[in-house]
Chain A
């Protein structure tokens, strides 16, 4: 274990920059500051607002999952971590500059890209990645406009992300009470005119990736009719049995206008259409091909590197990326390190182990500038700036919402710059 507390002559016990203020970065900062409260920990995010996936990935109707945000507020309010929002590493400050000014730098910027289908036609208009769609629904400031999904979208994927999208597209306006779904995406959902949603998985149902609890939750939707097609095989273990039981529990649920159909063990081979998507061609387990008509295709088959921070080169060149160390004084955490697998609690467990390794290797150099290297950058949003945005969003929430997100960078920056007392 490294020694905790203040360094010599009252300076910090080391200066650490973490790139990405999502769950991986925040859990790491929390673990570092618990073990060594004298550290200077600077969390840098490309967005003006913190919390990454919790704000722009976790579904707006899963506020309980977002509750870990309260721990991270304490990180800044009480543990002394500093927030530098609206700073893009590689554009506003070079990674080398960051490394020269800190004893350790940790890349925890996540994976923002959608994995592509990799079949003919996967670039047709009307094929949209789940991450792209989620960012639009969750009002990410850099999101694309909300797309036209037509009356019969098809979702490819069998993980929790696919189920999140399915649930959001299926809910009535009343079912978003208590969420932080914004008014524009709320209108888009209410007026989308979706009549049928098909969910397609490559694997048999027993080997699907979703949590059974996510499936059971669908059994509370009021405006749907759910049918579960051929499961593609029997359960081969307790986890598979739990998935099949959850699917059995929702099969036949509801008599609402929106038809939801689950289908399994289908291999997509081509997206068909002219000016836009018209159908997905799949191969069934018996080898026969089938054409499934649809008005849009949402791919929820995993996330991929979006080319940020030269991840490929860094992770690829690391001797032991598994340890989190990718170069001297440079570490990686969360999905940025391990790829798009693992839950929020997994990020916490990883952070606790990685914090120990970082502190063990830390050789603080009092000559490093730390936060001062970031101080001159334009339009930084600090923690107080985020607090002003947060307060505004909470105050603006309609009665059946917990907040009304500010959807643009410009407005975020304007609010962050306001003096708390203008008088």
Chain B
């Protein structure tokens, strides 16, 4: 039995005539300790998929099983790192993390909680900024706080929804390494949603493309057989890397073409002209 299992998931927004099926027939299995990346175009339903797994949304049809149990609502076992950081702007870095720690370990004394907060803030290298508010931090620093907050609850699985999407390439690289480091330390299960194929290849064990929605569904999986720890510069010369990367990109390009041809539906404009305007010239 898989650690996380999605069985024939369908998700529809709206009712009856206005209904849009965003996800159809999604099947996914993730084993314990695995790092899986889902790659897809923007607007293909990635966030919807993430929210189904973390319990913020319920599927219209199908089942999400976590450790064999159906997912009902959110859980501290599944930590979420949001795309737009979602830090509470009125709390400092420390307070943002403390809030999560306190919810996760309600019985621990305050001193211990503060120690956990300090640990995790230190882990993402933000100890000097612990008393700052999110507004005073750069994008990368904010995302680090978000990482610290998710991990401080000691979740068994980390779900990342395009966590590095809004960052510049350099910050991205550092944060990728940091996340891998943390993941490597105690081998938690991780699910990464991204629109960057290279990021997926660098970080994950398996990459699964999401065919764009509406009616988004998962494509064939690609295994990444590159030994860890991976090195970005060396990886470029790895034949395995080149092969996988080309295969994935080719697949995504094909989907893109397909989508374009589907979207070539013509809209016929009504043949209208202002009545008086035409008459003026007669």
A binds B: no
Residues of A near any B CB (own CB < 8 A): none
